[in-house]
Chains A and B, each alone.
Chain A
């Protein structure tokens, strides 16, 4: 019985990890507010880099390692996440975010080409730990407003904010 339970647990765990790695992504047709056309390659690059940022954010918040944010975050988003990680570490907390579905739409490409704004309706699970003790697991459905700005070879997240209005 115990063996069977462990086997089930292992399968579940693998399924969970796979699901975490492969969140469902739906990209809505771009609905731009602005005069600048968005090339398909730019759109794909921005979305790819944004989704990548969730991976690094998950790892950074789970491991309380702010340095992991460097590749994908900049400015306000990086500052705020870094602060959160420092606060988590000081309190002995860590959080495990598992994004399950993204519904994305690019809504603004600034005229000078230096920022892309997108909205992402995300389904994710967040589990809070105090040291190794799980305190809470919640399923969250939220709309995020995201601003990306170009770096040398990629887009980085400058603003990542849940829409609470």
Chain B
């Protein structure tokens, strides 16, 4: 904590407005007139304070002179007013000034009128991480399908703008872990991950030092792969039944996924949408000799069968 000693500025560097004003415009008018027309108020004394502190750190402000005064510390993050004894040191305990930002330190006393600046820096130690992960659910084997972004905060919810290494770990259902280490910039960092081969839950963790935040990402099977059906006669109709439907990683495609059977015969086409039940899809369609029957699910085509009279 470096200290400096400051001599109060005169009216050439600080405009002073004296007197009560009752509106913003009138205040500006009077301020301009008085600042130009009146001599600077008599000033004495000075102010010794650190140029910067860490958020929540203890610090002290020392003034010279004698008598009573009022010390103000004012910024966007906090406003503090203390009655002080000029010529003494005023101690601000740890945790008093903790919101990062720029503050004016103003000392007003009998013949004393000093203003100085004080910067409050975010604490160096991360205490909280705001972690946004997307999506909450996605198909397996998607390159760059998972993204995570973090903002890093200290214990006082100040954004830590100094660069920090942020680790992103994605642990898949089968146990493998992808890791990325990213240096934060102005308190923010992000990473992209791939969904893995197996359906289930991924644990996506962002970690900075001892602070971490986790999100669960659901991996669902991808599109069916190698969709295949068989046909057999059944009471004058043709019974169509798929093999157990799986994605390209071997995960069972969930029940309820729609499978489409299409029969083309004599220039006509009939289509039946069937949900997967217990891992397969089945349907009965009219048995037209010479009909061409195909199966598909979404954009994935399966095999094709030409049905001949049995």
Q: How far is the CB of B46 from chain A (nearest CB, A)?
A: 16
Among residues of A, the one whose C-beta sits closest to the C-beta of B98 is A80
Cα distance A15–B102 in the bound complex, in angstroms: 27
Stretch touching chain A among B15-23, B58-66, B246-254, B263-271: B15-23
Q: How far is the CB of A43 from chain B (nearest CB, A)?
A: 17
Q: How far is the CB of A83 from chain B (nearest CB, A)?
A: 7
Report the tally of A-B residue pairs with Cβ distances under 8 A.
177
CB proximity to B under 8 Å, residues A10-64: 10, 12-14, 16-17, 33-35, 57, 61-62
Stretch touching chain A among B24-32, B87-95, B196-204: B24-32
- Tell me which residues across on chain A come within 8 A of B207, comparing CB atoms: none
Q: A34 and B16 in contact (CB under 8 A), knowing A12-B28, A134-B31?
A: no
**Do A162 and B28 have beta carbons less than 8 Å apart?**
no
**Do B29 and A6 have beta carbons less than 8 Å apart?**
yes
**Do B119 and A145 have beta carbons less than 8 Å apart?**
no
Cα distance A25–B304 in the bound complex, in angstroms: 65
Total interface residues on B, using CB and 8 Å?
64
CB proximity to A under 8 Å, residues B159-215: 159, 161-162, 185-188, 190, 192
Check: A5 CB closer than 8 A to any chain B CB: yes
Cα distance A132–B132 in the bound complex, in angstroms: 45
Q: A147 and B159 in contact (CB under 8 A), knowing A112-B132, A164-B100?
A: yes
**Do B76 and A114 have beta carbons less than 8 Å apart?**
no
Q: How far is the CB of A135 from chain B (nearest CB, A)?
A: 5
Stretch touching chain A among B77-85, B218-226, B281-289, B294-302: B77-85
**Do B32 and A12 have beta carbons less than 8 Å apart?**
yes
Q: Please tell me which one of the listed residues A112, A138, A159 contacts residue B115 in the complex, with CB atoms under 8 A apart.
A: A138
Total interface residues on A, using CB and 8 Å?
61
Q: A9 and B30 in contact (CB under 8 A), knowing A134-B16, A164-B100?
A: yes
Q: How far is the CB of A140 from chain B (nearest CB, A)?
A: 7
- Tell me which residues across on chain B come within 8 A of A165, comparing CB atoms: 121-122, 161-162
**Do B101 and A161 have beta carbons less than 8 Å apart?**
yes
Check: B104 CB closer than 8 A to any chain A CB: yes
Cα distance A14–B25 in the bound complex, in angstroms: 8
- Tell me which residues across on chain B come within 8 A of A159, comparing CB atoms: 151, 159, 187
Q: How far is the CB of A139 from chain B (nearest CB, A)?
A: 10
Q: A9 and B22 in contact (CB under 8 A), knowing A108-B188, A163-B161?
A: no
Q: A91 and B79 in contact (CB under 8 A), knowing A62-B24, A112-B147?
A: yes
4 smallest beta-carbon distances between A and B, as pairs = A9-B29, A111-B147, A112-B134, A134-B17
- For this complex, 30 residue pairs linking A to B, each with C-beta atoms less than 8 Å apart, are A5-B33, A8-B32, A14-B25, A33-B190, A80-B77, A80-B99, A83-B99, A84-B75, A84-B79, A84-B99, A88-B79, A93-B72, A93-B79, A111-B147, A111-B148, A111-B190, A112-B149, A115-B149, A117-B186, A127-B17, A130-B70, A132-B21, A133-B18, A133-B20, A134-B16, A134-B27, A137-B17, A145-B161, A164-B122, A165-B162
